[in-house]
Amino acid sequence: MVKFDQQVVFQKLNFSINRGDFFCIVGPNGSGKTTLLRVILEELSPTSGELQRYLTSKQIGYVPQFRNLETDFPLSAQAFVELKLIQKPWPWLTTTEKTQVQQALSKTHLTAKKDWRIGQMSGGEKQRVYLAQAIVNQPQLLILDEPTASLDVQAKYEIMDVVQELNQQGTTIIFITHDPQLLEKYGTKTLHLGEEGQ
């Protein structure tokens, strides 16, 4: 169960996600999709009950719900992806890490645009930059919170094709969507939130 003050978001949820799943979470606004992701990410503890997670935080990539960067955001796509790997106090990357960055940019079809400033990219390109950053550590589990909301059809399927390819290469996917077509086309398992009894 997860409860905020007196508001119970969900009371009874029982599900499992296995390696290789393309696991979709659907439900109306306010049904607790993002809250459930926060539990899975261990940012939030359930009020009661437990989550059994067999992965470390480093093995999980996360693309949060829509973030809009200002048009004057100064970083290039490549610099933004690199940020994830830079460990203070050493602001440089190893040769292996540099290869990881190029692979993440290539998988998200951004190699030709890697030096573009993100603030000047389209919504779909920005979303692919966020995705590239989330996969640069080669996570076993990739979590995406409505990554295609507000994108046009072409940009939406560009993202989905990248995510599907990652899934086919063995990455487990947790995917929040409101889009029944995406659910049908890509999902292998679905959890419906906001139903009676939860």
Ligand X SMILES: Nc1ncnc2c1ncn2[C@@H]1O[C@H](COP(=O)(O)OP(=O)(O)OP(=O)(O)O)[C@@H](O)[C@H]1O
**Interface residues with ligand X (CB under 6 A)?**
4, 9, 27, 29-35
Smallest gap, in angstroms, from Cβ of residue 110 to ligand X?
Answer: 27
Smallest gap, in angstroms, from Cβ of residue 176 to ligand X?
Answer: 7
Q: Nearer to ligand X by C-beta: 132 or 147? A: 147
Q: Nearer to ligand X by C-beta: 32 or 147? A: 32
Q: 175 with 17: CB under 8 angstroms?
A: no
Smallest gap, in angstroms, from Cβ of residue 146 to ligand X?
Answer: 7
Q: Nearer to ligand X by C-beta: 30 or 180? A: 30
Smallest gap, in angstroms, from Cβ of residue 111 to ligand X?
Answer: 32
Q: Nearer to ligand X by C-beta: 7 or 96? A: 7
